[in-house]
Amino acid sequence: MSDPTIESILQEKRRFSPPQSFSDQAYIRSEREYEQLYSKAAANPERFWGELAEQELHWFKKWDKVLDWRPPFAQWFVGGQINIAYNCLDRHLTTWRRNKAAIIWEGEPGDSRVLTYGELHREVCLMANALKELGVKKGDRVAIYLPMIPEAAIAMLACARIGAPHSVVFGGFSAEALRDRLVDAQAKVVITADGGFRKDKTIALKAQVDLALEHGAPSVEKVLVVERTQEEMTLKPGRDVLWRELKTQVGADCPAEPMESEDLLFILYTSGSTGKPKGVVHTTGGYNLYTHITTKWIFDLKDTDVYWCTADVGWITGHSYIVYGPLSNGATAVMYEGVPRPSNPGCFWDVIEKYGVNIFYTAPTAIRAFMRQGEALPQSRDLSSLRLLGTVGEPINPEAWMWYHRVIGQEKCPIVDTWWQTETGGIMITPLPGALGTKPGSCCRPFPGIVPEVVDLDGAPVTDDQGGYLVIKKPWPSMIRNVYGDPERFRRTYWEQIPPQDDQYVYFAGDGARQDEEGYFWVMGRVDDVISVAGHRLGTMEIESALVSHPLVVEAAVVGRPDEITGEAIFAFVVLDGSQSPSAELAQTLKEHVVQEIGAIARPGEIRFTDALPKTRSGKIMRRLLRSLAAGQEVSGDTSTLEDRTVLDKLRGGA
């Protein structure tokens, strides 16, 4: 990846310093403080993490050893005993936070609920006792297949409380995807709901569970059903139990189980590029510490803040930054059941106004969708409570960053562009908002204790500003411990594609990146999203970014299409802003625009206009599907993660 074209990516020179008033009140107030922390962690990582673990968390028993690293297997806080639900709930109950709002929940139809720490604790204890009643013991896996209702967080915490690892399966997954995950984890109980609200309709969940179990998931003994939509469902006697009923039959006293630091906390499935989904394994102590401290420092989270992360709990972002990180800090977190939809395109701004949200964390795909709707909507709402913005999930193109900064942040909110993965458990590369200046499109610098590097295929570091592969060189507390039931796949996928350097194993993230002369990282996307045109390697992201920098373009996805002459040709799917309709002239203009921005080598061979792009529920463009479409092939393989199936039909029809 040393072709000159790739170095042209994002020649973004703008830089934004944190407002002084923000820095003055922040946990980490200056670049100097950041550098001191970073050096301290680098000089003695075990001491750094050990001190934080002692200061920030409650332990039933202190660890004997901070880190036991037998590459690629790590153990953190070995011998320590801890319970993450205790850290998220019980320890706040002896303070004034007992009556503080823990979760402010807004339902899609407009209903709402507020749970204080005291109330949340009670609900969690009830559900924990209900699980015990259903035969769940420490170590048994519980699947959670729920919509975005407080019971999703309650169920996770209830499992954690009794030491039953959870596997949250996103509510949009089909029966078949659910069954695969139940089988892989050998789940004993499923917690689900009758249905959930999504885009003004209800989707049946219990019926999907029934189907999944019919098709065979013999490990499942009981199904606990939460009522949300009141839609019809059938309950199988002896197997299915209503939460509303069981809740009245159990007590509210349930002490948190002391867990070994390395006990399994949860499995979260993430789709691999091929084959069946991987069960990413996270354990207790290190995950608790890392999500706690990153939430605190990166979101600069204070007791007075109202914090909102728009992710779904079925995604790692929901685990780490709706549930565990914020609650461990005693924060007030908003949880929203809805998504922006035609009937309510401004719903996010309504929620911010209604609850006075101070910290707002969302995905670039959402920001680009808002850009398309124009500024009038957010400007008609009071967003003045906002003091910090965040993004996650994809590289954010500078245009979207600037729009977010100007229209939503009203030029006063720092933006934290946070790079991380399901496998990393927590945010790895990010601005610390009071300390570091930001550059639109860059996820900035590593969190203290994190040692990323950009290397070539042999594992050798590339020089400043060259593209390469992103690796992490040192273990960190919330790192993936294994692929559930498949240590060989774990080794192969993450630790062997880039060979160890001087016997040091490095974690390979699967992303391409470059680091500029100031040490800022620019993540270019998955390395499998690279196109090779006549031997020149081009990141799809840079071409997309060039397209989106044209005023009429809101979103673009670029893929390679097999080409007899050049190997691959560039095929661009483009979403327009709505002010102009597609035309051959416009396609021509956009091709020229890319040439202007990057060079002739990046000229798209074909542009197809479309209303929408196929995305996963977490907002990632499914390029694999677009590659098939561009090549004129049938779309094959797993489409279970697709957010909106109709998009694919429209694209096939050549919209």
Q: Does 525 bind ligand 7RM (CB under 6 A)?
A: yes
- Least Å from the CB of residue 20 to ligand 7RM: 26
> Which of 393, 398, 440, 475 contacts ligand 7RM by CB under 6 A?
393
259's enclosing H/E stretch is: strand 259-260
CB 449 within 8 A of CB 41: yes
Rounded distance between C-alpha atoms, residue 545 and residue 558, angstroms = 10
Token representation of residue 460: 């050798």
> Which of 102, 443, 455, 543 contacts ligand 7RM by CB under 6 A?
443
Contact mark string toward ligand 7RM, 294..333, x via CB under 6 A:
----------------------xx----------------
Judged by beta carbon, residue 305 or residue 511, the one nearer ligand 7RM is 511
- Least Å from the CB of residue 533 to ligand 7RM: 22
- Least Å from the CB of residue 8 to ligand 7RM: 18
Beta strand pairing call for 468-472 and 452-455: antiparallel
Q: Does 509 bind ligand 7RM (CB under 6 A)?
A: yes
Q: Does 511 bind ligand 7RM (CB under 6 A)?
A: yes
Q: Does 622 bind ligand 7RM (CB under 6 A)?
A: no
Q: Does 392 bind ligand 7RM (CB under 6 A)?
A: yes
| Of the candidates 393, 386, 389, the residue with the CA atom closest to the CA atom of residue 402 | 389
| AA identity, residue 370 | F
Q: Is the dihedral of CA 261, 279, 319, 159 positive or negative?
A: negative
> Which of 106, 108, 417, 544 contacts ligand 7RM by CB under 6 A?
417
> Which of 271, 422, 515, 610 contacts ligand 7RM by CB under 6 A?
422
CB 332 within 8 A of CB 307: yes
Restricted to residues 104-133, the positions that interact with ligand 7RM (CB under 6 A) are: none
- List 525's β-bridge partners, or say none: 512
If you write DSSP's letter for every residue of 285-321 in order, what string do you get?
Answer: HHHHHHHHHHHHHHTT--TT-EEEE---TTSHHHIII
Would you give the distance in Å from CA 425 to the centre of its chain?
Answer: 9
- Least Å from the CB of residue 363 to ligand 7RM: 8
Q: Does 418 bind ligand 7RM (CB under 6 A)?
A: yes
Let me know if 632 is exposed, middle or buried by CB neighbors in 10 A (0-12, 13-18, 19+).
exposed
Q: Does 618 bind ligand 7RM (CB under 6 A)?
A: yes
Q: Does 192 bind ligand 7RM (CB under 6 A)?
A: no
- Mutual orientation of helices 623-630 and 645-652 as an angle, nearest 10°? 20
Judged by beta carbon, residue 434 or residue 539, the one nearer ligand 7RM is 539
> Which of 59, 105, 173, 419 contacts ligand 7RM by CB under 6 A?
419
Q: Does 420 bind ligand 7RM (CB under 6 A)?
A: yes
Restricted to residues 222-281, the positions that interact with ligand 7RM (CB under 6 A) are: 270
Q: Does 523 bind ligand 7RM (CB under 6 A)?
A: yes
Judged by beta carbon, residue 193 or residue 443, the one nearer ligand 7RM is 443
Interacting span for ligand 7RM (CB under 6 A) from 237-245, 253-261, 412-420, 630-638: 412-420
Which residue is at the shortest CB distance from ligand 7RM? 422
Restricted to residues 559-578, the positions that interact with ligand 7RM (CB under 6 A) are: none
CB 425 within 8 A of CB 316: yes
CB 444 within 8 A of CB 436: yes
Judged by beta carbon, residue 80 or residue 409, the one nearer ligand 7RM is 409
CB 396 within 8 A of CB 427: no
> Which of 8, 421, 466, 639 contacts ligand 7RM by CB under 6 A?
421
- List 222's β-bridge partners, or say none: 189
> Which of 526, 608, 617, 627 contacts ligand 7RM by CB under 6 A?
526
- Least Å from the CB of residue 364 to ligand 7RM: 8
- Least Å from the CB of residue 471 to ligand 7RM: 12
- Least Å from the CB of residue 641 to ligand 7RM: 10
Beta strand pairing call for 73-78 and 101-106: unpaired
- List 362's β-bridge partners, or say none: 391
If you write DSSP's letter for every residue of 559-586 in order, what string do you get?
Answer: EEEEETTTEEEEEEEEEE-SSS---HHH
Beta strand pairing call for 189-193 and 195-198: unpaired
Q: Does 292 bind ligand 7RM (CB under 6 A)?
A: no
Token representation of residue 489: 């796949």
Judged by beta carbon, residue 219 or residue 270, the one nearer ligand 7RM is 270
Judged by beta carbon, residue 146 or residue 443, the one nearer ligand 7RM is 443
- Least Å from the CB of residue 496 to ligand 7RM: 18
Other C-beta atoms within 10 Å of 191: how many?
Answer: 30
- Least Å from the CB of residue 509 to ligand 7RM: 6
CB 117 within 8 A of CB 162: no
Q: Does 640 bind ligand 7RM (CB under 6 A)?
A: no
Total residue length of the chain: 655
Rounded distance between C-alpha atoms, residue 115 and residue 102, angstroms = 6
Interacting span for ligand 7RM (CB under 6 A) from 177-185, 207-215, 520-528, 571-579: 520-528
| Of the candidates 165, 172, 176, 113, the residue with the CA atom closest to the CA atom of residue 147 | 172
CB 447 within 8 A of CB 428: yes
* Largest Cα–Cα separation, the chain: 71
Question: For binding to ligand 7RM (CB under 6 A), which residues are involved?
Answer: 270, 316-317, 392-395, 417-422, 443, 509-511, 523, 525-526, 618
